[in-house]
């Protein structure tokens, strides 16, 4: 490549920084636009490396991360103008993913000045020239990209106070303080005796219990320690083998059922849902919870105190993070992710992570770095968070399960916030709503696309 300085020049002065820019372009518009720039003899910097893909719809966020991981200084993603897609809607799908992906990068403190999105048609050779020139110049000024694998600057992570002072308002443990425990046991006994279900997935004193005999229903409890989202057990093969289940859910857990049903993972008719009216468990998620009452359960037990949260309160935990400048935010996450040992507990407890083979285990090609290094950890957490875009129901199980105490819910929350602000979408609230990823709207905002 011509961007490497000659040996003679290198001897005289320190080698000038030549940015490396990776461009992912679609075959039908931007690639032809770049081709036109060439055939009309337009000059543009040779710093851009073009990767041709059939359509912007094919461009996966993993590719962008990969490009940075292996040393790109900027990434350009470009395709057909809206309405011009050769495949009619690939660019609309891409646009929606980019909106969410940019929000995630923003929450991580990633320098958004290094990721460019453009629409360049086959006739816009000049635009291609301008865009490449501009990106090269800007990147040259910004210098080489190092943030994804820089060592965290000490101290910044510790200054971020996310939990409210004095901790969350918890209640003293007192078994049976909430009504409904006796009714729950009675309902389960009835279901098991009548043979309507083969197993009840519920809360026990020390964790989840799987009750298969009517005489064991005394193991079930219902109190303010019933925090876990039990829907995660529905995907387990050994639980499925037990037969038709009844599952105990709170209003918030029920949202997971809605998403799972939408994604064809469960058949609602093949289970009995015991909805428990909840009074809040004193967790961070409970402070802004507005689904105390299960809405789609087969039967609802107990009585909830009604205090729907204000919408603004939902993003309260994000305020401290979003108030940080970009560089400090990146530093915060670098400090946090440094502790990550890649145990994948966050994945195992997530009701939404049900793939038989997780992408991180795919090795031909290795999509994300599997080692617990700075690069690998960033890639993993970006992957995990983005796969939950428009799907995370905010049960915060990942955060509770993390042995390193990484506040993973902040990433999930930022995407949930983006989904609500950009698309008016909340995962698991409306069984009839289209999925967020996999659908698109002509009205999706594109003010960031040139």
Partner 1 sequence: MRGADTLSGGPVTIEADMVVLAAAMRPADGVEQLAQKFNVGYDEYGFLLESHPKLRPVETASAGVYICGACQAPKDIPESVAQASAAASKVLITFSASELTREPEIAKINEDTCAACFTCLHACPYHAIEQAEIRTPRGVFVKRTARVNPGLCMGCGTCVAVCPSKSADLEGFTEQEIYSMVESLV
Interface positions with partner 1 (CB under 8 A): 20, 22, 49, 51, 53-55, 57-60, 63, 66-67, 70-72, 86-90, 93-94, 97, 263-265, 354-359, 362, 364-367, 387, 434-435, 437-439
Q: How far is the CB of 207 from partner 1 (least distance, A)?
A: 26
Nearer to partner 1, 126 or 422 (CB): 422
Name 195's Cβ contacts closer than 8 Å, sequence gap at least 6.
none
Nearer to partner 1, 261 or 287 (CB): 261
Q: How far is the CB of 137 from partner 1 (least distance, A)?
A: 19
- The answer, yes or no, to whether the previous bond of 390 is cis (omega within 30 of 0) is no
Nearer to partner 1, 55 or 330 (CB): 55
Rounded-to-integer distance, Cα 10 and Cα 89, Å: 48
Neighbour tally for 441: CB within 10 Å: 12
Q: How far is the CB of 103 from partner 1 (least distance, A)?
A: 17
Contact (Cβ atoms closer than 8 angstroms) between residue 68 and residue 76: no
Nearer to partner 1, 89 or 153 (CB): 89
Nearer to partner 1, 79 or 180 (CB): 79
Q: How far is the CB of 136 from partner 1 (least distance, A)?
A: 15
Q: How far is the CB of 359 from partner 1 (least distance, A)?
A: 6
Nearer to partner 1, 55 or 346 (CB): 55
Q: How far is the CB of 37 from partner 1 (least distance, A)?
A: 19
Q: How far is the CB of 352 from partner 1 (least distance, A)?
A: 9
Nearer to partner 1, 320 or 437 (CB): 437
Q: How far is the CB of 314 from partner 1 (least distance, A)?
A: 25
Q: How far is the CB of 2 from partner 1 (least distance, A)?
A: 15
Q: How far is the CB of 445 from partner 1 (least distance, A)?
A: 20
Nearer to partner 1, 315 or 354 (CB): 354
Rounded-to-integer distance, Cα 259 and Cα 256, Å: 5
Sign of CA dihedral 8, 10, 12, 16: positive
Nearer to partner 1, 289 or 418 (CB): 418
Nearer to partner 1, 72 or 220 (CB): 72
Contact (Cβ atoms closer than 8 angstroms) between residue 36 and residue 122: yes
């Amino acid at each position: 490549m011509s961007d490497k300085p000659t040996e003679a020049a290198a001897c005289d002065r320190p080698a000038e920084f030549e940015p490396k820019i990776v461009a992912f372009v679609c075959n039908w518009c931007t690639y032809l636009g770049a081709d036109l720039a060439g055939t009309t003899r337009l000059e543009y910097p040779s710093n851009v490396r073009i990767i041709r893909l059939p359509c912007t719809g094919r461009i996966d966020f993993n590719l962008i991360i990969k490009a940075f991981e292996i040393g790109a200084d900027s990434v350009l993603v470009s395709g057909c103008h809206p309405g011009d897609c050769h495949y009619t809607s690939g660019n609309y799908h891409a646009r929606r993913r980019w909106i969410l992906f940019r929000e995630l990068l923003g929450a991580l403190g990633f320098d958004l000045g290094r990721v460019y999105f453009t629409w360049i048609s086959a006739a816009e050779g000049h635009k291609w020239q301008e865009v490449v020139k501009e990106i090269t110049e800007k990147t040259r000024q910004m210098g080489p990209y190092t943030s994804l694998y820089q060592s965290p600057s000490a101290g910044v992570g510790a200054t971020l106070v996310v939990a409210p002072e004095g901790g969350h308002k918890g209640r003293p443990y007192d078994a049976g303080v909430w009504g409904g425990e006796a009714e729950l046991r009675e309902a389960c006994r009835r279901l098991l005796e009548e043979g309507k279900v083969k197993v009840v997935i519920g809360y026990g004193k020390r964790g989840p219990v799987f009750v298969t005999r009517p005489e064991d229903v005394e193991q079930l409890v219902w109190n303010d320690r019933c925090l876990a989202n039990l829907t995660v057990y529905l995907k387990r093969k050994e639980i499925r083998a037990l037969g038709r289940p009844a599952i105990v859910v709170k209003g918030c857990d029920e949202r997971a059922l809605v998403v799972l049903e939408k994604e064809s993972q469960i058949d609602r008719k093949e289970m009995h849902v015991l909805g428990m009216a909840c009074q809040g468990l004193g967790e961070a998620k409970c402070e802004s919870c507005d689904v105390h009452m299960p809405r789609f359960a087969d039967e609802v037990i107990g009585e909830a105190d009604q205090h729907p949260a204000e919408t603004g309160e939902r993003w309260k935990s994000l305020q401290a993070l979003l108030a940080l400048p970009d560089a400090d935010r990146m530093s915060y996450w670098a400090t946090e992710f440094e502790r990550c040992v890649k145990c994948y507990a966050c994945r195992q407890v997530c009701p939404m992570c049900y793939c038989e083979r997780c992408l991180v285990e795919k090795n031909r090609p290795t999509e994300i770095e599997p080692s617990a290094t700075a690069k690998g950890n960033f890639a993993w957490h970006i992957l995990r968070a983005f796969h939950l875009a428009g799907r995370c129901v905010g049960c915060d199980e990942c955060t509770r399960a993390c042995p390193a105490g990484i506040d993973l819910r902040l990433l999930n929350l930022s995407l949930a916030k983006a989904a609500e602000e950009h698309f008016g979408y909340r995962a698991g609230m409306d069984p009839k709503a289209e999925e967020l990823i996999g659908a698109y709207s002509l009205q999706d905002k594109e003010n960031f696309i040139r």
